[in-house]
Amino acid sequence: MSESERFEILVLGSGAGGKLLAWHMAQSGRRTAVVERRWIGGSCPNVNCMPSKNEIHSAKVASLVRHGAEYGARTGPVEIDMGTVRELKRHMVDRQIAAHLHNYEASGTELIMGSGRFVAPRTLEVQLNDGGTRLLVGDRVFINVRFADPNTYSEQDRQHNYLQSSYPPFTYAVTTDPLSGIRDGILHRPRTDPLVMQVDSQSEFWQLHGSLNVVDGVGNPVAIPDNVRLYFVGNTAHAFISGSFLFPTPGTAPLCSNPTPGSGLNWETLRATLRNLDRWAVGNGQDNGEGNGQGNSQGTEPPKSNYPSLLDGTLVTRNAAAAAFPAIPNVIFPRCTTLTSC
């Protein structure tokens, strides 16, 4: 074990809060260090906010060109070069990283690239990316990393250390998580479990762990309990924001945005859901309360769940998806999932 080094300010994670705090503290003369394992500046400039907007901008340009004729600007056939789209984005990210490194240097903050973990109060052991370890003690330690939370999204494309952001139970039914062996469910007290209706956009299903409601960690189907309904609103973005990055264009909506509704929450679906939930719960006013697997009430049965499912073929296995993925220049089907290393 290396000798410990003392800092007045020690920050774990170089995300939005951590880096600004560190730069400010260092500028005011405090010996400051930030420990970051991968993203200089955090996820926002590297893989989240800014790269996504950069790609959306490319999509917007493509959309404008495609719809040019509707505005009187005729062009020839349009071809998307994903390699250029990616390079443009990478160039933007590189500039962001350079600007961050400049700020680290100018403020006098030491950036330590490695993975940190607490080994004692206010003490971090850092596994350095270049090899070796450092032991850092902070007079004050600030944490800018996320902790285990079953609802934190999977970060499939950029990290696969499953348990960092994932902890069972993932779904309503009581199941045994195939990786951790933990047996648990969000609902496991039949006498008191509520009726549940969950409405998800496409983004929630694919990106935010929603799929783990119906598929376990190794891809086996998971049954939905009778007192739960899972409703999937296809072709919708995060929080049902459809087309929010786009101005209305005539003709077909660009970027596959859902023409109903134009923006904001999908109020129609949620209102209908609330009404159905009320009827389901109240019904004729009686509640059997027995947890007999038939649902907790004797109300009006709501519509069946329509979540994509392996059981009815509305969901396919990863291998089937990989086989059907179209050949797009410079685009590869993800080689790994949250649960399997690349």
Ligand X SMILES: Cc1cc2nc3c(=O)[nH]c(=O)nc-3n(C[C@H](O)[C@H](O)[C@H](O)COP(=O)(O)OP(=O)(O)OC[C@H]3O[C@@H](n4cnc5c(N)ncnc54)[C@H](O)[C@@H]3O)c2cc1C
Q: For ligand X, which is the closer residue by CB, 153 or 196? A: 153
CB of 275 to ligand X, least distance (A): 33
Shortest distance (Å) from residue 42 CB to ligand X = 3
Q: How far is the CB of 17 from ligand X (least distance, A)?
A: 6
What are the structure tokens assigned to 234, written together?
A: 């296809």
Q: How far is the CB of 64 from ligand X (least distance, A)?
A: 21
Collapsing DSSP to helix, strand or coil, 199 comes out as: strand
| Cβ nearer to ligand X, comparing 49 with 311 | 49
The SS3 call for residue 123 is strand
195 contacts 280 by C-beta, under 8 angstroms? yes
Half-sphere exposure of 90 (CA within 13 A, CB side): 6
Rg of the chain's alpha carbons, rounded to an integer? Answer: 25
Query: Which residue, among 201, 154, 214, has the nearest Cα to 167 in the 3D structure?
Result: 154
User: Whole-number minimum distance, CB 155 to ligand X, in Å?
Assistant: 8
Q: State yes or no: cis peptide before 261, omega within 30 of 0.
A: yes
User: Residue 207 or 249: which CB sits closer to ligand X?
Assistant: 207
Query: 118 vs 325, which CB is nearer to ligand X?
Result: 118
Distance, CA of 140 to CA of 122 (rounded, Å): 7
The 10 Å Cβ neighbour count of residue 317 is 11
Contact at 8 Å (CB) between 34 and 112? Answer: yes
Closer to ligand X by CB, 113 or 196: give it: 113
The CB-of-73 to ligand X minimum distance in angstroms stands at 30
Q: Given the rule CB under 6 A, which residues bind ligand X?
A: 12-17, 35-39, 42-44, 48-49, 52, 115-116, 144-145
- CA-CA-CA-CA torsion for 74, 77, 78, 84, nearest 10 degrees? -120
Q: Cα(279)–Cα(197) distance, rounded to whole angstroms?
A: 12
- Tell me whether residue 82 or residue 174 sits nearer to ligand X (CB atom): 82
Residue closer to ligand X by CB (options 16, 310) is 16
| DSSP states along 233-254 | ETT--GGG--STTS---SSSPG
- Least separation in angstroms between residue 54's CB and ligand X is 11
Looking at the Cβ atoms of 49 and 64, the one nearer to ligand X is 49
Residue of minimal CB distance from ligand X? 15
In the complex with ligand X, which residue's Cβ is closer, 12 or 233?
12
Q: Least distance from C-beta 45 to ligand X, angstroms?
A: 8
Cis peptide bond N-terminal to 169, omega within 30: yes
Q: Which conformational region is residue 16 in: left (phi greater than 0), alpha (psi within -120 to 50 degrees), or beta?
A: alpha
CA distance linking residue 294 with residue 301, whole number of Å: 10
What's the closest the beta carbon of residue 262 comes to ligand X, in angstroms? 20
